[in-house]
């Protein structure tokens, strides 16, 4: 991989202008933390342990008026932040419009908190890259799995630096990344390409490099999701997963990347809302089902204090995953959630997201009830003090406590707008996406397409939200001079009401490039609603062969759908294709984030990029019912060198 340079002087200057007297060295002596703690009320201490999540606003929840995304503070929300003095705020996609808006919103939130006498806050976002990129602008880059496919851990560091630089320009000091879950269950519905792979050593190496890249930009990191979300077949956003592995099995696999990153200096660790019955045997009666369930890692002192703190030696801040997720909210009473998480050793709680006035009031009630339980001894006050010390020490280490000037200058706005999605950052993402492209199969010289002047290539998408990649790809190919004169690209999406039209268009096109997107195991089965397009793609493959043509498929998310198309002559993997309904409308990336994976794959299909990536996971065969099996179809490491020519 060629060496990349970063405009450090420009980035640091921008951060300095934005952050006033931001300090890279420790801001205050340790005894200052004790002084701050001594001056805090119990309510302030508990609020310091909470991430507030204001997503949307609706004053009257019973009205038919749609909720508005919170991108500018109204007076009620501003006063709420001032009154509560939270330890941090977590932004979501609803909060993020463009660089100037996010910069001003973050500064306004910090200023409101400061006006109420609060300490500077952790301003956080989930910016993993790829499918989980909350900023709808700038450089979303690639996710973790394509980075591993490049075979170069330095790409993890480089991509993370891009994210950290852009977050710093916006005043965001905390990134809930990297994901160090091992995706050793191909049926996992929530991790997938968010993982660096299915091998513990590889995930450790790439996870540490990514973490250190963020830290190079003075961004606080959080490993997730402890003790591992990779071996589940339930999404904790919608259900309560269970991993039935022993302590020794977890120590030999899931916990290896966490241990490596902790030893390398991890700042925070995020918990998983997952049952581990071989570790934590305490049970609870589910509010919804009435059945006996195990308490999840988020509430387990065995897992968080005995194992994470004691055995793995983690001395930083433990943060819960979002408490509004169904794994928690459907099963556990709010009071028990508060008491059990804090007593288990969680230092910061990600509160349920605020969407209207009622939720604001519920958050206020939660904080009041937590104070009452602490006063009654239900919540351990020593653990509260320990948590606040850890939070303040983290803020001190990154200079957050010294960041007190939140005025936004025109110059800071200009630097943020130019830096987020800059040409240099986009080039980093593009280079990594190209290096990740993995040619699993190439028979009958099918890849790349042999497009001649004036010919039409049909792009058949199995997901409409990715159709913008066709427009961007044609633009890129034209700029590269890789599109023959008069050649055109047309995109269509395979849906139930367009299937016949897609089949007809494929028969008249000179070339057909089929782009398959699987986001869960249901997408592999043509008998399911999500998997319906698989049957159409296979029919197009048969039609092309009947006409004496070759068939090329691009898998643009989970690589496991490559097993769905045994008749394809060529199969290319991109491992990512974040939503891009329309192409970016300007060089600055306005309108959409810069999402390079799928456009790189399409350009490769036209011969403009050479695929050199290698498969970072074992890819299993499917049985006759399109279910995943234990038999390996393509082994980890497969790639261009293995594809038949």
Distance CA 213, CA 263 (A): 16
Distance CA 282, CA 299 (A): 10
Active site residues: 237, 321
As given in the structure block, the two tokens for residue 361 are 């009031």
Q: 484 and 590 in contact (C-beta within 8 Å)?
A: no
Distance CA 255, CA 34 (A): 33
Distance CA 334, CA 329 (A): 8
Which H/E stretch holds residue 552? strand 552-555
Burial level of 405, CB count in 10 A (0-12/13-18/19+)?
Answer: middle
Burial level of 625, CB count in 10 A (0-12/13-18/19+)?
Answer: exposed
Q: Which of 418, 496, 472 is nearest to 594 (CA)?
A: 472
Distance CA 615, CA 370 (A): 48
H-assigned helices in 128-272: 144-149, 153-169, 200-216, 247-252, 255-263
Q: 114 and 120 in contact (C-beta within 8 Å)?
A: yes
As given in the structure block, the two tokens for residue 32 are 């200052």
- β-bridge partners, 573: 438, 555
Q: 554 and 515 in contact (C-beta within 8 Å)?
A: yes
**What is the DSSP secondary-structure string of 328-366?**
HHTTS-HHHHHHHHHHHT--BEEPPPB-SHHHHHHHHHH
- β-bridge partners, 224: 179
Helix H, strand E, coil C: the string for 18-62 is HHCCCCCCCCCCHHHHHHHHHCCCHHHHHHHCEEECECEECCCCC
Q: Which of 188, 197, 183, 108 is nearest to 145 (CA)?
A: 197
Contacts of 391 (CB under 8 A, 6+ apart): 48, 49, 87, 122, 317, 347, 348
Distance CA 202, CA 153 (A): 9
Distance CA 203, CA 163 (A): 19
Torsion of CA 240, 579, 68, 352, to 10 degrees: 20
H-assigned helices in 437-551: 468-480, 499-508, 532-546
DSSP 8-state class, residue 591: T
- Across the chain, which distance is largest between two alpha carbons, in Å? 80
* Own/partner long-range contacts of 77-82 (Cβ < 8 Å, ≥24 apart): 77/360, 78/108, 78/112, 79/112, 80/360, 81/52, 81/109, 81/112, 81/113, 81/116, 81/118, 82/112, 82/113, 82/115, 82/116, 82/118
């Amino acid at each position: 991989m060629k060496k990349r340079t970063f405009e450090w002087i420009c980035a640091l200057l921008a951060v300095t202008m934005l952050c006033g007297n931001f300090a890279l060295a420790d801001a205050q002596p340790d005894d200052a933390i004790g002084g701050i703690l001594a001056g805090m009320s119990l309510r302030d201490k508990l609020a310091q342990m909470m991430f507030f999540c204001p997503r949307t606003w609706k004053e009257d929840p019973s009205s038919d008026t749609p909720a508005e995304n919170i991108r500018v503070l109204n007076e009620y929300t501003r006063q709420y932040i001032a009154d509560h003095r939270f330890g941090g705020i977590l932004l979501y996609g609803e909060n993020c419009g463009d660089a100037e808006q996010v910069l001003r919103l973050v500064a306004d939130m910090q200023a409101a908190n400061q006006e109420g006498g609060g300490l500077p806050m952790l301003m956080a976002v989930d910016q993993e890259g790829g499918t989980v990129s909350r900023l709808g602008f700038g450089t979303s880059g690639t996710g973790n799995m394509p980075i591993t496919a490049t075979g170069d851990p330095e790409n993890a560091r480089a991509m993370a630096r891009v994210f950290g630089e852009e977050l710093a320009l916006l005043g965001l000091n905390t990134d809930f990344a990297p994901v160090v879950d091992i995706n050793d269950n191909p049926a996992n519905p929530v991790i997938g390409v968010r993982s660096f792979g299915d091998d513990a050593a590889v995930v450790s190496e790439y996870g540490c490099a990514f973490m250190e890249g963020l830290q190079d930009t003075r961004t606080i990191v959080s490993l997730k999701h402890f003790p591992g979300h990779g071996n589940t077949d339930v999404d904790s956003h919608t259900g309560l997963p269970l991993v039935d592995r022993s302590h020794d099995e977890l120590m030999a696999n899931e916990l290896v990347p966490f241990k490596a990153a902790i030893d390398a200096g991890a700042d925070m660790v995020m918990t998983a809302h997952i049952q581990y019955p071989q570790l934590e045997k305490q049970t609870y009666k589910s509010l919804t089902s009435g059945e006996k369930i195990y308490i999840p890692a988020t509430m387990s002192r065995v897992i968080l204090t005995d194992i994470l703190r004691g055995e793995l030696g983690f001395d930083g801040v433990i943060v819960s995953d979002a408490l509004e997720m169904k794994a928690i909210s459907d099963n556990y009473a709010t009071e028990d959630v508060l008491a059990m998480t804090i007593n288990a050793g969680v230092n910061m709680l990600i509160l349920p997201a605020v969407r209207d006035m009622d939720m604001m009031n519920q958050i206020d009630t939660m904080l009041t009830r937590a104070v009452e339980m602490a006063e009654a001894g239900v919540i351990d006050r020593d653990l509260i003090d320990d948590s606040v010390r850890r939070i303040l020490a983290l803020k001190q280490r990154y200079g957050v406590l010294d960041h007190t000037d939140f005025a936004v200058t025109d110059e800071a706005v200009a630097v943020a707008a130019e830096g987020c999605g800059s040409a240099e950052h986009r080039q980093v993402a593009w280079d990594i996406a190209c290096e990740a492209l993995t040619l699993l199969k190439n028979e009958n010289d099918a890849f790349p397409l042999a497009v001649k002047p004036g010919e039409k290539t049909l792009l058949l998408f199995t997901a409409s939200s990715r159709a913008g990649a066709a427009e961007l790809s044609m633009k890129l190919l034209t700029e590269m001079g890789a599109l023959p004169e008069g050649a055109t690209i047309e995109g269509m999406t395979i849906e139930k009401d367009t299937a016949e039209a897609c089949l007809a268009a494929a028969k008249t096109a000179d070339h057909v490039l089929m782009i398959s997107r699987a986001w869960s195991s249901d997408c592999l089965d043509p008998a399911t609603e999500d998997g319906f397009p698989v049957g159409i793609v296979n029919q197009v493959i048969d039609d092309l062969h009947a006409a004496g043509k070759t068939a090329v498929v691009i898998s643009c998310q989970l690589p496991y759908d490559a097993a769905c198309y045994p008749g394809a002559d060529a199969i290319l993997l991109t491992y990512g294709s974040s939503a891009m309904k329309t192409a970016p409308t300007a060089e600055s990336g306005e309108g959409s984030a810069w999402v390079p994976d799928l456009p790189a794959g399409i350009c490769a299909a036209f011969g403009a990029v050479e695929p050199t990536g290698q498969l970072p996971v074992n890819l299993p065969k499917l049985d006759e019912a399109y279910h995943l099996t234990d038999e390996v179809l393509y082994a980890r490491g497969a790639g261009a060198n293995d594809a038949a020519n």
